[in-house]
Chains A and B, each alone.
Chain A
């Protein structure tokens, strides 16, 4: 084990508080759904959705760095994990979502409501 063995209890509690706060913000926004954020559109989806996605990524960062202790691993070990995963996921999601939009454009004119 590369990292030192001192206690990190304080850091753990701080991260718990951050994660709880972020979740609370998400839930409150999800329940209220302010019209200005929910019904407008920025870069393909509503600003509310962007807020959710960004807060989720922030939460993921804290879980991976603090709880899974990526911050204590060697730099290139961390990068071999994080960069591979992020590249492949972005690649997959981009292609698949473009395809989904195409399917909608092609099929929805055929549906009678």
Chain B
């Protein structure tokens, strides 16, 4: 009977579940673990959906190491994967400082816990910042492409390497097309940034330079590279061009399938949001440590619980890294 009745108590043990400890784990820790299981299933849902979509478009999916090629300070250098590898490493190190904080907590060393928590927060902030930079590069794009009326992305290559529109299209945009803002058109409507070049300009530049080839989205399954079209075939495809695409957003994506960009924003964004909430939790706990809350409480279990969440964020990133960047 007693279990079903709310007994008024002064011992403030609501969050510890009283004296009952199934599996020898406290209430808070067990609930953190079950939350992590449910959150892991959410992430699995996203990654599985990514897998489904990728299988659906298996012959035209963007090749990740052609998409993420930037590294801070190395302009124009083709550096696939290095940056994400660095981010992965930063997150692993932050996990280590977190677990060191938990370890110091077990030994009731307040100062050590505080310093390790501080390091964890700093690494977390660096990670989120890196992700923002990655997003910036992805959104701005690196080469530019055109989209055809049947929804395919065409990129341009020269001597076997992809080249940017600005490498072979010269001069300013000539069709006098202006961006529609609230000031210069219908006051209740506006449009996004218009592309640097017009469709006609790109097509003419292609005709003018015989060394430029068009690269389609289609993957040659034997070499696992994108199919490069012949000059004539390229011209035929270019005739269907609808728009010039620079960068990526939720509607168009210069790297290929739009839904690739959607998943990129959704999955890394959801993960980044988790890192952000992890940082905020860490900051709260950090101040509690400094104020001596856990010293008075007699144990640092709160650090351990938040640590579980932080490690989970790292764990998820390990999978995102594999399935988005490697596989």
Contact A31–B81 (Cβ < 8 Å): yes
- In the complex, how many residues of chain A place their beta carbon closer than 8 angstroms to a beta carbon of chain B? 58
Contact of B33 among A6, A56, A81 (CB under 8 A): A81
Beyond A31-B80, A77-B25, whether A26 also contacts B326 by CB under 8 A is yes
Bound-state CA distance A90–B170 (Å) is 52
Judge whether B45 and A64 touch: CB under 8 Å.
no
Q: Check if A103 sits within 8 Å of B81, measured CB to CB.
A: no
Q: Which residue of B lies closest to A113 (CB)?
A: B218
Residue in B closest to A29 when the chains form the complex, CB atoms: B326
Whether a CB of chain A sits under 8 angstroms from the CB of B216 is: yes
Q: Tell me whether A92 and B48 are in contact (CB under 8 A).
A: yes
A55-98 vs B, Cβ < 8 Å mask (1 yes, 0 no): 11001100110111100011011001100110011001100110
Q: Are B23 and A96 in contact (CB under 8 A)?
A: no
Closest to B51 in A: A97
Q: B274 an interface residue at 8 Å Cβ cutoff?
A: no
Q: Report the Cα distance A7→B108, complex, angstroms.
A: 11
A74 touches B23 (CB 8 A): yes
Q: Closest CB-CB distance, A58 to chain B, in whole Å?
A: 10
Query: Residues of A contacting B85 with CB < 8 Å?
Result: 23-24, 27
Contacts of B304 in A (CB 8 A): 1, 69
Per the 8 Å Cβ criterion, residues 39-61 of B in contact with A are 40-41, 44-45, 48-49, 51-59
How many residue pairs between the two chains, A and B, have CB atoms under 8 Å in the bound complex?
153
Nearest chain A residue, comparing its CB with the CB of B22: A77
A96-B49 in contact given A23-B89, A68-B308, A74-B24 (Cβ < 8 Å)? yes
Which residues of chain B are near A69, meaning CB under 8 Å?
102, 304
The distance from the CB of A71 to the nearest CB of chain B, in whole angstroms, is 12
CB nearest neighbor in A for B86: A27
A113: chain B residues at CB < 8 Å are: 216, 218, 227
A23-B45 contact, Cβ under 8 Å, with A63-B315, A100-B55: no
Assuming the contacts A97-B55, A107-B56, asked whether A12 and B81 have C-beta atoms less than 8 A apart, the reply is no
In the assembled complex, B99 has its CB within 8 A of some CB on chain A:
yes
Q: Is the CB of B55 within 8 A of A39?
A: no
Residues on B lying within 8 angstroms of A by beta carbon are 22-26, 30, 33-34, 36-37, 40-41, 44-45, 48-49, 51-59, 65, 80-82, 85, 88-89, 92-93, 95-96, 98-100, 102-103, 106-107, 150, 216, 218, 222-224, 227, 299, 301, 304, 307-308, 311-312, 314-315, 318-319, 321-322, 325-327
Q: Which A residues lie at the B interface, using CB under 8 A?
A: 1-2, 5-9, 12-13, 15-16, 19-20, 23-24, 26-27, 30-31, 38-39, 45, 49, 52-53, 55-56, 59-60, 63-64, 66-69, 73-74, 76-77, 80-81, 84-85, 88-89, 92-93, 96-97, 99-101, 103-104, 107-108, 112-113
Given A31-B80, A67-B307, 5 extra CB contacts under 8 A: A97-B51, A100-B52, A100-B53, A100-B55, A103-B56
Interchain residue pairs with CB less than 8 A apart (19) = A1-B301, A8-B103, A16-B92, A20-B89, A23-B85, A23-B92, A26-B321, A27-B85, A56-B321, A63-B314, A67-B314, A77-B30, A77-B33, A81-B33, A81-B36, A99-B52, A104-B57, A112-B150, A113-B218
